[in-house]
Amino acid sequence: MSVVKINVLTVPAEQRETLEKRFASRAHAVENSDGFEWFELLRPVEGTDNYLVYTRWRDEESFQAWMEGPMKSAHQGGGSEGGDRPRPAASGSTLWSFDVVQQAGPKGE
């Protein structure tokens, strides 16, 4: 079964719009990656500053290939001195990893 990666981003209220715009501008950056299955950006509703970036992959190798290729390139942007690169919208990040052991979807008609 698939693997799920959830990146927990701590985003101060004043940076929420910036974060969402950045994800929207790269909306299709992951979709053509081998082994990619699903993406969701989850905005907190109450009680937390943590956004969840949910991705599902065919296997760990597919995720690692994306991390070392397209994701790394997308996050390097700007000059190596950091002059042209915008400041991160998140003040912290933690990656959670899960194996999918059960799943269900809507029952077909």
Q: Is the pLDDT confidence value at 83 over 70?
A: no
Q: Is the pLDDT confidence value at 89 over 80?
A: yes
If you average pLDDT over every residue of the chain, what do you get? 87
pLDDT for 39 equals: 95
Q: Is the pLDDT confidence value at 2 over 50?
A: yes
Quick: pLDDT tens for 18-53: 999 999 988 777 888 999 999 999 999 999 999 999
Pairing of strands 50-57, 3-10: antiparallel
* Domains of the chain, start order: 3-72+89-99 (3.30.70.100)
pLDDT for 77 equals: 57
Q: At residue 74, what are phi and psi to the nearest 5 degrees? A: -65, -30
